[in-house]
Amino acid sequence: MKKNQVKYLKNLLETPSATGTETAVAALVRKRLANTADEIETDVMGSVHARLSGRGAGPCLMLSAHMDEIGLMVTYISDEGFLSVAAVGGVDAAILPGLRVDVHASNAFKPLRGVVGRKPIHLIDADERKKVTPIDQLVIDVGLPAKKVRKLVCVGDVVTFGVGFERFGKGMAVSRAFDDKAGVWVATRAMEELARAGRAQGDFVVAATVQEEIGVRGATTSAYGVRPDVAVAFDVTHATDYPGISQAKFGRIVCGQGPVIARGPNINPEVFERLVAAAKAEGVPYQVEAEPAVTGTDARAIQVTRGGIPTGLVSVPLRYMHTPTEVVCLSDLEATVRLLVRFALDLGEGASFVPGMGGVASDAPADAE
């Protein structure tokens, strides 16, 4: 990955966007695509829709990726100045004690450094050591006098993990919030590359959505408002290439072996076949993941919007999801951009997505009788 693209990815990842506070990342998306998209709008939910007009009469394709990350929210400020918090999204209480965090205080010019405090092991009874301390029993210490804390911090302020992006190993990277700012990177890069390739036949819309982590809320309104003919959601999925995870149960998903194409009832079968065909045509290695029910992604909402939208789901393998140390292989992100650009370019005017009545070859005009 080129240095300028790594810099852009790092900027996305390190810009805080706990669910409900995605405005700073939304501004990055608008700025990034200002010279590429023909039209950019932000809806009342806060999701950004950037449109690249098509060069023909092909179907409108929406590529969705969510901007929000998990975090915490201040629920109470004690008389001593310690902060009680609740989870915003799926936060694992077991990983919190001892973490450094950023408290995005309403009345401070920059985030306050905080630490998640807990009694040291010397003061914890033997039985208690075996239990996970619930989030509502943890506190955040910002190291300031109580009067100062109450002046700066307000109930409802959000907290994010106090870590950023770092490359390590061979082609790997670690950061908080790869879920799913990796997708925001992929979506914006796909639009840039599609513009360079001469555009698709139909419109291409990047939907950088909000509030996925609490119920795919932004995708629900974006799909309704954009009203695409076909959609692909992008997210991360669980890598199963490290100890302790059953591949028999969760499938074999390996970092560095390419994007993951989902298959199951949440996925339109014609879109799935087209994604596989695009990967093969582009020479992109890919993996297939079984999704036997609705997925925990934007695809869940998009598929059943209005009268139904044919939807696909592409992911990259991610280790240690919803922790401060999410890990991806950078080559998987680049390969996904190539896959999605090819998928968009191959969508022709005659594309059909009705199960059992479409097919990859259906874009070609029928022979005259």
Q: Which residues are catalytic?
A: 212
Would you say the C-alpha torsion 91, 95, 97, 98 has a positive or negative sign?
A: negative
294-311 in b/e burial notation, b at 16+ Cβ within 10 A?
A: ebbbbbbbbbebeeebbb
**Amino acid symbol at 296:** G
CA–CA gap between residue 5 and residue 90 (Å, rounded) = 29
CA–CA gap between residue 94 and residue 133 (Å, rounded) = 7
CA–CA gap between residue 45 and residue 245 (Å, rounded) = 37
Could you tell me how far CA 140 lies from the centroid of its own chain?
A: 27
Q: Which pairing describes strands 158-161 and 71-77: parallel, antiparallel, or unpaired?
A: antiparallel
Could you tell me how far CA 318 lies from the centroid of its own chain?
A: 11
Q: Is 358 helix (H, G, I), strand (E, B) or coil?
A: coil
DSSP string covering 248-314, please?
A: HHH----TTS--EEEESTTS-HHHHHHHHHHHHHHT---EEEE--S--SSHHHHHHTSTT---EEEE
CA–CA gap between residue 100 and residue 81 (Å, rounded) = 17
Query: By 3-state DSSP, what share of the chain in percent is helix, strand and coil, each rounded to 5?
Result: 30, 25, 45
Bridge partners, 207 (sequence order): 49, 64
